[in-house]
Structure 1
């Protein structure tokens, strides 16, 4: 019997394998379908909002909108720095964009020279896609209209309106306020080197940051917070329409109010004329700075646009240095304006102010002849301050040595840096034995001749005009070691005052004596600034001190008046003053670089004019000036009440005149 060709055991075995594989594949398929379904549920339900936003981001872009920069005002609310509309032209690189042709088309609509066109082509090629490059700004309305009319024909080209910084007073406040300029690669690198995140606003082509003065020191406060403009774009990223409802408004920068007075600052620059120097005016009661004028100055508006190479070279190489802030950064020997500090130190050291020194015009000491600018005869301390006698202060400084003088100078603000909120101050030098030991390694010992020179504000002593104004204000106040204040408020928040300070370490009678000498300078006949210090404001008078600072050594018999010398070889001219003398309110320091010998010749008349402006603007002082003087007393004969007057008496007529007419 033949064997069957089909064995049911094999069929069953094969059927089992098929069934297992079917279940396995079905399970895998089921798990895949479940995972896919779960992922779809997760995407469509759980993360629906996230992907909705991503989809919208492909449809909409947000373009950064720079915030309006904060205003800078003077103490009375006068605008010193503001913003104005600015029509500008931008180009964004797009795919397949013919950059040279686009630039050539633009040069037909707005003026672009060959160099500018070449530079634009390079800038646009290097810029990231959709990152705008500024072609020009400050376009006229006609140019702005021409671009907008042809906008559909110019892919990637945008003409819009932004804001640009403007300084209404030009150069009057340039050194104090500073200016703004475009962000450069060094600025970006400096931020990255500090490990900070670069604000996207810095990449905006129209954005500018502070470069000097208040603009630089308070750049973040003035900058504000950027906003954004919502725009619908196509698949290529080109703007289709604006969506104003989705815009994020920008937050303007904070308003900064200074203690300066625009009228006084303007007057200071007017009286400076073509001279080089500085004028500082300070309130003797609060420490507020009302004037910080440095001359010559520069127009800050020119720096906002950007100076050309020749323009900057002309400014930087001009011998009168318009870019230098002479108020804080220029240091000079104070000359005879330092003598009140020497007198104060001498009184504190026990020197008798009535002791007399004979001035014959010269004094021989240490193998050389020390000269005075005049022959003053017998001088006590009061006379020496009034007449600015060098011989008296030569010998007085030699008696007391440098350290008491340096202590007085430091107490009154010399050799110090003040917290004004802006950079740029130079400390200067106030010599002492300890200072020379550290600073002069070749000759560390203080010599007697150093003291002689020191006594008249020459040698190891340099100051800036701000320090001299502080010195004068502290001396006029007579009690408080006032600190100068420049920033009055930030965003409406008042800043610390300059009168919240300790008292001066000198007795009132000592300071009164020195002030008496300064009063004599300006108000007694023979005072070195008597004629130049008359304010013409009734009974309000000014006290002062003249100063001449040498810039070179003069040969014997050579005149120091400056006639015939080159400008840079003449002496510096100083004058410090305060007024009114009975209740000091304002202190002023004036420097005229290379103004010639005698502080009364150039500095004192300018100090008088600035002081007059400040006094007349002060309501209290003005009321005092305008108060009518009392009528002179006239003696009247006593008349009893009810008594009739005497009858007139007859007198003979006057004789006729020879001509027959009236006499």
Structure 2
């Protein structure tokens, strides 16, 4: 039928049109893809993130590994090598720095298309426990564009100022310690003992004379300084072994020291005097064994300081200067400087932290009394060790502790250990009083007595004081046999306790310095050992400090605990002792008889204010006769000791008299 045929003929063109549309879409899609691919292949690579580049440089600066980081330079410098050279001394002296990125500026584009930004880095160098050098540096970054189809890199513009502010080419960083003001040592009534005083460092300047004259110059200098053979040989050896332009130190002297001819030193070719200052006492010998000395820190001191002390620091070498160095030295200052090697330009300071001055050390020493004690010993001219110690009965303060020239620098006054001989009879008498005797009790004083071994009296003991006599008479004339004869009445423990009541054998917890307060065994090793203890022999030991403490305890009426260094603890009242005032009064009575009619009557006759005394001599371990005298004048207990003498009355007595009568 015609209509059906017409409808079928019309459907075919519509299918062809749909196919054509799909073809067109496919062609368009392909063309778009081609365009997109072309754009992708021809586009510029993206700019690398600036923060990543800045962080990477921070990591490199922290580690010092800069070899692979892209930088631009205007010179032939190698950044990694410059980094190492600039920080070499800092790294040797401290821990490594902490470097952190603190921020970046926005990226800017220049007329030629170059991109740039600036990164800021915070540096932190821990130079000491409480000293950190902190600063910031700015680093310019640039980006010139991609490298072909690679993104390209941000590059840091290298300069020394990246490492430290305003650092210049060729400069190196160094850490210097600046010495703090050392604390003074002061004595009674606030009088200064040790403070900074003007000095001259004397030595051989090898650059000032020909090499052929070095040996002669060292010998001449040693002669001018009064050196002995050993010191001279040491100076000569150090001069010969040092560098061609070295300064070889010989000695440090006070500017106005009368013991040295300054003019002669200055006029000697090759000798140089360098002015300076040093913490010193009023005189070279003033309480030197006690105060000690200062000097450059030794390797041993540096090692033991746990970083507190560095090479070149002036520290306490001995005595109180060493014991209280932490307090006296304070904290050194620190500064960072920029220097140019092999240049005469002065170092440029980049940063500094002030030090903290040392704190003063307070002693009980009376400056005038100490000087007087030293003069008395010097005038006595004893060749063996000797000492004078004075202790204030009211406070326990050590007012003087002088050691004679025969001690050769040893602190005989505070540390000497010797049998106290008959001065110990003060403690023995206290033991007798506690066991029922009185000054008027009759005791037997024969010429000799055997208790485990034979004991006798000293040569020249007055016959009028032998036989049955009052205890006061036996004590006044120092009868050995009368004391030994009480061995059954007074036990060894009693002797130990009596001595402790007088401060002998205690630990010296308030002393604040090295000191020996004696030893009295509480048990006897034999009958003879016990008997000999009554007269300060056998194993009984004391120091001049200990015996001055005994005298001070008797003077004050209570057990004295001596004190040399004043601290918060030491300033508190002395701990109550076991010595009673009535016991001390009886001991003072016995000791007054020694001055009035006994063994000290000639030495101390007419000396005003003397309450009492006791002489003593003992056979030392080396066969020498150690001689003693203790005395009480007012509230002060005094002990005089000479290691090698005749009798306490004849050797120690005149020294005691000169001390008590002088000023």
The interval holding the TM-score normalised by the smaller chain is 0.5 to 0.7
Contact 1:232 1:241 in 2 (8 A): no
Where does 1:98-109 land on structure 2 (aligned, <5 Å)? none
What residue number does 1:47 align with?
121
Partners of 2:457 and 2:359 in 1: CA distance: 55
Distance 1:33 1:400, change over 3 A: closer
Q: Would you say 1:202 and 2:275 are equivalent positions?
A: no
Contact 1:80 1:169 in 2 (8 A): no
Partners of 1:30 and 1:243 in 2: CA distance: 41
**Which structure carries more strand by proportion?**
2
Deviations 1:467-517 (A, max 9, x none): 111111111111x3222221247xxxx77337x124332443332222111
The structure whose RCO (Cα within 8 Å, separation 6+) is larger is 1
- Aligned counterpart in structure 2 of residue 570 of structure 1, from 621, 624, 630: 624
Partners of 1:323 and 1:16 in 2: CA distance: 99
What residue number does 2:332 align with?
226
What residue number does 2:599 align with?
528
Deviates more, 1:330-339 or 1:447-456: 447-456
Contact 1:397 1:454 in 2 (8 A): no
- Aligned counterpart in structure 2 of residue 332 of structure 1, from 418, 421, 436: 418
Q: Would you say 1:372 and 2:478 are equivalent positions?
A: no
Give how far 1:263 is off: 2.2
Distance 1:398 1:227, change over 3 A: same
Contact 1:402 1:451 in 2 (8 A): yes
CA RMSD of aligned residues (A): 4.0
Partners of 1:545 and 1:457 in 2: CA distance: 12
Q: Would you say 1:388 and 2:497 are equivalent positions?
A: no
3-state SS of paired residue (2:553): helix
What residue number does 2:433 align with?
347
Distance 1:518 1:230, change over 3 A: same
Partners of 1:105 and 1:512 in 2: CA distance: 71
Deviations 1:4-61 (A, max 9, x none): xxx97987665443333456x63xx234467558975398465375116843373576
- Aligned counterpart in structure 2 of residue 497 of structure 1, from 552, 567, 571: 571
Q: Would you say 1:542 and 2:611 are equivalent positions?
A: yes
Distance 1:58 1:64, change over 3 A: farther
- Aligned counterpart in structure 1 of residue 283 of structure 2, from 169, 176, 182: 169
Contact 1:277 1:326 in 2 (8 A): yes
Deviations 1:140-181 (A, max 9, x none): 999xx9xxxxxxxxxxxxx99653343331113111111112
- Aligned counterpart in structure 2 of residue 75 of structure 1, from 176, 180, 188: 188
Partners of 2:547 and 2:52 in 1: CA distance: 83
3-state SS of paired residue (1:594): coil
Q: Would you say 1:185 and 2:185 are equivalent positions?
A: no
What residue number does 2:653 align with?
604
What residue number does 1:454 align with?
533
Give how far 1:183 is off: 1.3
Contact 1:213 1:422 in 2 (8 A): no
Where does 1:475-490 land on structure 2 (aligned, <5 Å)? 475-478=554-557, 480-488=558-566
Give how far 1:70 is off: 2.1
Deviates more, 1:165-174 or 1:41-50: 41-50
Distance 1:242 1:109, change over 3 A: farther
Partners of 1:160 and 1:369 in 2: CA distance: 65
Give how far 1:88 is off: 7.4
Where does 1:261-276 land on structure 2 (aligned, <5 Å)? 261-272=366-377, 273-275=380-382, 276=385
3-state SS of paired residue (2:505): coil
What residue number does 1:559 align with?
none
Distance 1:365 1:345, change over 3 A: closer
TM-score (structure 2 length as normaliser): 0.66
What residue number does 1:631 align with?
none
Partners of 1:509 and 1:86 in 2: CA distance: 54
TM-score (structure 1 length as normaliser): 0.66
What residue number does 2:581 align with?
508
Deviations 1:578-599 (A, max 9, x none): 123xxxx111011111112x31
Distance 1:282 1:421, change over 3 A: closer
Q: Would you say 1:361 and 2:447 are equivalent positions?
A: yes
Give how far 1:574 is off: 0.6
Distance 1:249 1:135, change over 3 A: farther
Give how far 1:346 is off: 1.6
Give how far 1:82 is off: 2.7
Deviations 1:427-469 (A, max 9, x none): 5421122xx6xxxxxxxxx322222111111112111111111
Distance 1:228 1:112, change over 3 A: farther
Partners of 1:245 and 1:58 in 2: CA distance: 9
Q: Would you say 1:64 and 2:196 are equivalent positions?
A: no
Deviates more, 1:223-232 or 1:286-295: 223-232
Unmatched segments (≥5 aa) in structure 2: 1-25, 56-102, 107-116, 123-134, 139-160, 216-235, 256-261, 267-272
Number of paired residues? 498
Deviations 1:210-253 (A, max 9, x none): 1222211111222123235675544x484634668976554432
Contact 1:281 1:292 in 2 (8 A): yes
What residue number does 2:550 align with?
471
